[in-house]
Amino acid sequence: MSGQKTALITGISGQDGSYLAELLLGKGYEVHGIIRRSSSINTSRLDDIYQDPHASHRRLFLHYGDTTDASMLANIVRETQPDEVYNLAAQSHVKVSFEIPDYTGDVTGLGTIRLLEAIRAAGISTRFYQASTSELYGSTPPPQSETTPFHPRSPYGVAKIYSYWATVNYREAYGLHASNGILFNHESPRRGETFVTRKITRAVARIVAGLQDKLYMGNIDAVRDWGYAKEYVEGMWLMAQQDEPDDYVLATGEGATVRQFLEASFSHVGLEWEKYVEHDSRYERPSEVDALIGDPAKAKEKLGWVAKTHWRDLAKLMVDADRKQLDDELSGRHVRADRG
């Protein structure tokens, strides 16, 4: 079909990658995604948009690869000639990054340079989106905007700052249309189960069902600015549509403590969180990011993007989805509850 755009997404099997792929397919794009080879199926978040490889008009194509494999990245960029590249692949867990710092630096930091070099080597005019993060601000107090100084507090944050500056550098050095989305925490029923919001909402569902009686948590005084992932991928796409590349914060502008998220999630099903939650220091980090609250004014003004769902509604939405998913599992209906 003439005029059809092509996008390449690294990290397509993750939370954001799956929502972004849906958005782009809905806009008529041909979408290519990189997935890792795994001994078990790792594409469950793509179930709704999976297309039979034998279907003649399919627009979703999955390719095996890894951000540590430069030749694979070069081949896929050259072969697919994407109009837009969204670099979402990362070892994205902050606590885990303290345990595997070398690997995190390789995948989350150097992986970006490998992809940028693949674009340069292909000699194509593409638009590049980098999944930057509020973790870059680290210990710099809120509110945080595009002009706030960075002070990362984890190997993950340090790796992401490398990728942030690599993106800026390729924009300045080579004129690449390369933008950083500095995204504050965004969650959904598809959130990985070891991130704090999903850990809480899954536990609430399991406690209601009588499958669990305690929830062990780390630092519940931490403040985060939680939004809804499905809305944030729209902001990624908008950045790639601008005439000029730039860097943008996406956030709700509202902060809450982990304690408040616990209270909202448990009270949604009529439970008192204090009766179930206990502390376990194993979930604390060697250096914590105490408070992240974004200032999304630039994204509102330049992109027309505004976060609609704030943390209280997000907590309810995620508890409801986890309860439905558990009900389906227990009754033998293995239907995902993450349609939201």
Active site residues: 133, 135, 156
Least distance from ligand G4F to the Cβ atom of residue 273, Å:
13
Give the residue nearest to ligand NAP (CB): 14
Choose the contact partner of 322 out of ligand NAP, ligand G4F, none; CB within 5 to 8 A by kind. Answer: none
Pick 80 or 197: Cβ nearer ligand G4F: 197
Choose the contact partner of 17 out of ligand G4F, ligand NAP, none; CB within 5 to 8 A by kind. Answer: ligand NAP
Alpha-carbon distance of 270 to 272, in angstroms, equals: 7
* Residue labelled with tokens 């782009």: 24
Binding mask 49-78 for ligand NAP (x = CB under 6 A): -----------------xxx----------
**Using CB under 6 A, which residues numbered 160 to 199 contact ligand NAP?**
183, 185-186, 192
Alpha-carbon distance of 33 to 21, in angstroms, equals: 8
Cβ-based neighbours of 257, under 8 Å, separated by 6 or more: 220, 221, 222, 223
Binding flag, residue 42, ligand NAP (CB under 6 A): yes
Choose the contact partner of 14 out of ligand NAP, ligand G4F, none; CB within 5 to 8 A by kind. Answer: ligand NAP
Least distance from ligand G4F to the Cβ atom of residue 133, Å:
3
Choose the contact partner of 217 out of ligand G4F, ligand NAP, none; CB within 5 to 8 A by kind. Answer: ligand G4F
Q: How many residues bind ligand NAP (CB under 6 A)?
A: 25
Choose the contact partner of 288 out of ligand NAP, ligand G4F, none; CB within 5 to 8 A by kind. Answer: ligand G4F
Closest alpha carbon to 319 in 185, 191, 183: 191
Q: Which two tokens stand for residue 276?
A: 């179930």
Closest alpha carbon to 84 in 37, 128, 145, 131: 128
Question: If residue 98 lies in a helix (H) or strand (E), which one and from where to where?
Answer: helix 94-99
- What single-letter amino acid sits at 212? Q
Cβ-based neighbours of 151, under 8 Å, separated by 6 or more: 137, 138, 139, 140
Pick 95 or 324: Cβ nearer ligand G4F: 95
* Residue in 133, 180, 309, 325 binding ligand NAP, rule: CB under 6 A: 133
Burial of 242 (0-12, 13-18, 19+ CB in 10 A): middle
Q: Which two tokens stand for residue 146?
A: 């595009």
Closest alpha carbon to 330 in 211, 221, 242, 243: 211
* Residue in 24, 74, 88, 217 binding ligand NAP, rule: CB under 6 A: 88
* Residue labelled with tokens 């704090």: 196
| Binding interface with ligand NAP (CB under 6 A) | 10-11, 13-17, 34, 36, 42, 66-68, 88-92, 107, 131, 133, 183, 185-186, 192
